[in-house]
A and B are shown apart, each in its own frame.
Chain A
Amino acid sequence: MGVTIIHQKVVWVILGMGLVTYVPRWFPLMLMSRRNLPKWLVDWLDLIPAAILSALLVPELVTNGMPRHMSLWQPELWVAFPTFIFALKTKSLGGTVVIGMVLFWLAQSVI
């Protein structure tokens, strides 16, 4: 078995990445969880999950490539419709993941 060489640069990169990723996750919890937040801020934060999930999802469905361009004729988008309906009817996260995977797999093997 060879000796594992840990490259020094990689370790510094990992430590730095860990720090700059943890702080934004930690800071709001420390700052905001023990205070009474103003009502407008609570209302605003209440809208954030819907906004952020949509902002993560929709470009994934309708754009492609590097640099990104519109791409409406891709299985990512077309599979999303039946998956969406399934999720809406069942409210099952696990079921939706499995159905989405199967449909995407089928779509890819057809195309």
Chain B
Amino acid sequence: MTYKRIYIQTTYRFSLIFMQDSGIKTSILQGLSAAWPICLGYIPIGLAFGVLAQKAGLDPIEIMLMSILVFAGSSQFIAVSMLSTGAGAVSIIITTFAVNLRHLLMSSSLAVFLGNTTRKKLSLFAYGVTDESFAVNQTRFSQNIWSLDQALVVNHAANIAWVVSSVIGGYSGRFIHEGAFGIDYALTAMFICLLIFQLRGRLYVITAVIAGVVAVILSLIIPGSSYIVLASIFAATTVLGIKKWALR
């Protein structure tokens, strides 16, 4: 806990120093220093996606178009494998919708911090809401050390890493052998740390435990990825219910 407090305090102090300096440049620097682990995690996955997409018959322009317009890793993998098995357009789009519906919860959670801004900026920000950028930005917003500008830098740095690595994968990914340097574990390790950032008290730990257990059970029963949304809603609702009942 002391580590966390020191970390928050120093980050906050630094952000105050930077803010006096003001300007776009510092926002970009702060955003990039928050974004680089995401970018590092996206590179192997983007490359892997590019390789698979190329094998499924997509050319680099289509790969780029998909990474720009969709920008949601797991659904892109699923879409490409469905395309290669000859699935219909409508069923691919419906599957994508189901897989990416979890972003609805993430944007709702971020909306709490974004009252003072224009619709235009919010629309731009919405484009970059992914599992990873959500967790990085949400943590900082809840510590009051973050603004929408820095969050936009995080989103777009991650976006550039994703688009560029997936296109490179489409061209040359077949030369990179699987499992090199443990790159397959990059996002898992990132989620471990992001989860720890969220465990700010007993209620959050209980929520995480319930969500984890329920997600495992549901993932074994239901095919697909609906277990993520179902387990999250179940855990948050249960813990809130217990809290309300205990306070009564």
Mark the stretch among B15-23, B157-165, B167-175, B235-243 that contacts chain A: B235-243
Segment 47-96 of A: residues with Cβ below 8 Å from B: 47-63, 67-70, 76, 79-80, 83-84, 87-94, 96
Segment 181-224 of B: residues with Cβ below 8 Å from A: 181-186, 188-199, 203-205, 207-216, 219-220, 223
Number of interface residues of B (CB under 8 A): 106
Q: Quick check: A60 and B191 within 8 Å, CB to CB?
A: yes
CB distance from B225 to the nearest CB of A (A): 9
CB distance from A35 to the nearest CB of B (A): 8
Q: Which residue of B lies closest to A87 (CB)?
A: B193
Chain A residues positioned under 8 Å from B89 (CB to CB): 9, 12-13, 16
Number of interface residues of A (CB under 8 A): 81
Interface of A is mostly: helix
The CA of A107 and the CA of B177, in the complex, are separated in Å by 17
Q: A14 an interface residue at 8 Å Cβ cutoff?
A: yes
Q: B14 an interface residue at 8 Å Cβ cutoff?
A: no
The CA of A42 and the CA of B201, in the complex, are separated in Å by 17
Q: Quick check: A69 and B196 within 8 Å, CB to CB?
A: no
The CA of A90 and the CA of B197, in the complex, are separated in Å by 11
Q: Quick check: A105 and B103 within 8 Å, CB to CB?
A: no
With beta carbons under 8 angstroms apart, the residue of B59, B65, B83, B189 that contacts A97 is B189
Q: B105 an interface residue at 8 Å Cβ cutoff?
A: yes
Q: B96 an interface residue at 8 Å Cβ cutoff?
A: yes
Q: B129 an interface residue at 8 Å Cβ cutoff?
A: yes
With beta carbons under 8 angstroms apart, the residue of B106, B135, B197, B203 that contacts A47 is B203
